[in-house]
Chains A and B, each alone.
Chain A
């Protein structure tokens, strides 16, 4: 498996790839991933210069470990093939494909990615993909999309277009997103890929953002797109494991190691039954704790 496929991605920050002032040092806000946007944020007559800016940013800016993704233009546009070339040439970590509805949408992009990897002598398979789902058809086909390629590390829901097509009304509780979010997280887990929630558009509503994030975290989502650096710390805080959770995760990991030596597969910690199946979840807690800067242990 690609080593970056399951990294921590609590926050994925959109950045207009065209704006030099934005992309020069956005890593300082410490999102887990940035998404350089060539699609909606960039005016139609600026697409080519945004691509040049993107290439140079990917090639020459040190993002200090922050994952660098690119949102390319949709397949209906005349830009997306060049977007893929520039992204791969610059060495992005992955590409976010907009408006995915069918497996073929992903495969179409993958084909171009392979060509570009060959052209620019990048290791074949090094560029990950992410399917952005923005329509009811996409939601229905979420599993198909999540399983469409070995390169897919996650699927995400984009609320804006989805709501318009659903005739839904925005509510504080997020009822309008229930159907899509549920379907998405199920598909992601079934396909063993990650699952990301849409942006919280009111950048000054931190309480709403916190509630929204708690909801999706409890549903099983791995993270959320953000449009402002101000949103990052709120989301990270929600995803930051508690001391109790970290403690339990350590007991699971150490416990399984210890008991395995003695040939024991199931044991009890703090009154809870533990087995090897829980190690993956425990590792995830430790990874999140490390990313949140709250882990002081040895794991």
Chain B
């Protein structure tokens, strides 16, 4: 069946009430009953939930074949937790496990062998990078992987589309009763937003820490009322890879040019007024936009009311200078952000459900004026791909892309027109992760395209010294520079399902055909 993004979704995946994507607000006012975890009561007073080791925690959690375990990715490429838990699960001979992670990255390459030997047969994740992505694309995973954006993942947990049997939550610090925080340890990550919903909806919750804090470890991100067991391990991660002193500020003139255009466009739209809300990713041009905004804010005496999502040093600087009303933080990217989270009186940790769940009673993304986002590809319908590379292999992450694009009043994509010799703007993206109806402006170093749906923005940017072009003109320019790319060829086998944030299917990812040079 062809969905509203023009993608063919094979009928075999449209079972058990799963529908195709039918527009970004299709499920407005959708009613459902929330899922709930099975709870084993802990009535008798006891001193501690500490268990000897990870193996004991897994055994006590009664993890069995066919169950689902969950992880968060606040430790990014420095994470040790996923690998150590999966090693134990494998050694215990437990098989057919579904891994429900907020994201998986290069740090988790060792679990590919568990995909190959059947320990892991299902994956639900926002991002899948590195060797895991390759393994999925090669069809090594028994069941198709689910690509779920951040809001979509917590929505799936809360609606019961995915049920977590055991949540393994790495925490920089925890007391022996399970009050866990993103700070106070050897490897701080600031907030534990991605794990909060897991803790509330999983049947069993295991906190894994390398820093046992005195009781009560308050204020906690994960509360004792939700935690079954606490395990202390030597190290939960490599602190150097969890967060740097500073994300590198790009000096690439192309990135800076893109950022300059994006900033200029942004400040000339009607939402740029005192109290505006803003979110940006941690990529080069996105970070630069934050810096470029400041002089405009000062000149026009405008302050940001709220920043949502990932916190970075440029944001913290603005917060400390009184130019931001509040940061609602779901991920802290660098040491200054980690230090500020829950310490600065206006820097708050929020759960991923609060952040982006499309089917709760109101997420923070809905209050966004602007979001600045990256893209691997954009097509002439403004559809964006942030999951498959130019070779068709899974190597990206929708993250909060889909959620913020749908929630914000003005979503701005920043991307180079051509990457190496591959056009970014093209006729049709390989995979649709974010539908064009939720993308408003596309900024490249060559020109800026405004979604024709947004006549108001087109009008607002008339007469501004910006290279406004149509998306077709941008595509033509990209093709002129790099040539029209040949289509990537795929086999029929579906290796991953791309869920839109509301649970409908927006696209599927198939196994790329092996490149052959025989003529």
Contact = CB atoms under 8 A, between A and B. Distances in A.
B228 to A, nearest CB: 54
B45 interface: no
A293 B465 contact: yes
Interface string A6-26: 000000000000000100110
B389 to A, nearest CB: 19
B420 A28 contact: no
A118 interface: no
Given A24-B481, A25-B481, A293-B465, A228 B418 contact: no
Interface in A203-221: 204
Given A21-B420, A62-B480, A293-B465, A28 B445 contact: yes
A28 B482 CA distance: 15
A256 to B, nearest CB: 30
Given A21-B420, A28-B446, A230 B256 contact: yes
B339 interface: no
B462 interface: no
Contacts, number: 25
A25 B253 contact: no
A28 B257 contact: yes
B251 A25 contact: no
A265 interface: no
Contacts of B445: 25, 28
A28 B257 CA distance: 9
A29 interface: yes
A90 interface: no
A228 B420 contact: no
B418 A230 contact: no
Interface residues of A, number: 11
B481 A230 contact: no
Contacts of A204: 251
Nearest to A230: B253
Contacts of B465: 293
B518 to A, nearest CB: 28
A136 interface: no
A24 B256 CA distance: 18
Interface in B402-437: 417-418, 420
A293 B467 CA distance: 12
A259 B446 CA distance: 45
Interface in A251-292: none
Contacts of B446: 25, 28
A186 to B, nearest CB: 35
Nearest to A232: B253
A174 to B, nearest CB: 25
Interface in B442-497: 445-446, 465, 480-482
Interface in A23-56: 24-25, 28-29
A230 B251 contact: yes
A229 B255 CA distance: 12
B480 A29 contact: no
Given A25-B418, A293-B465, A228 B253 contact: yes
B481 A29 contact: no
A293 B417 CA distance: 24
A296 B210 CA distance: 65
Nearest to B444: A28
Nearest to A231: B253
B425 to A, nearest CB: 13
B253 A229 contact: yes
Centre residue among A21, A25, A204, A229 by max chain B CB count within 10 A: A25
Nearest to A30: B257
Q: Which among B253, B465, B482 has the greatest number of chain A C-beta atoms within 10 A?
A: B253
Nearest to A62: B480
Interface in A50-84: 62
11 contacts: A21-B420, A25-B445, A25-B446, A25-B481, A28-B254, A29-B257, A204-B251, A228-B253, A230-B253, A230-B256, A293-B465
Interface of B: 251, 253-254, 256-257, 417-418, 420, 445-446, 465, 480-482
Given A24-B418, A228-B253, 19 more contacts: A21-B420, A24-B481, A24-B482, A25-B417, A25-B418, A25-B446, A25-B481, A28-B254, A28-B257, A28-B445, A28-B446, A29-B257, A62-B480, A204-B251, A229-B254, A230-B251, A230-B253, A230-B256, A293-B465
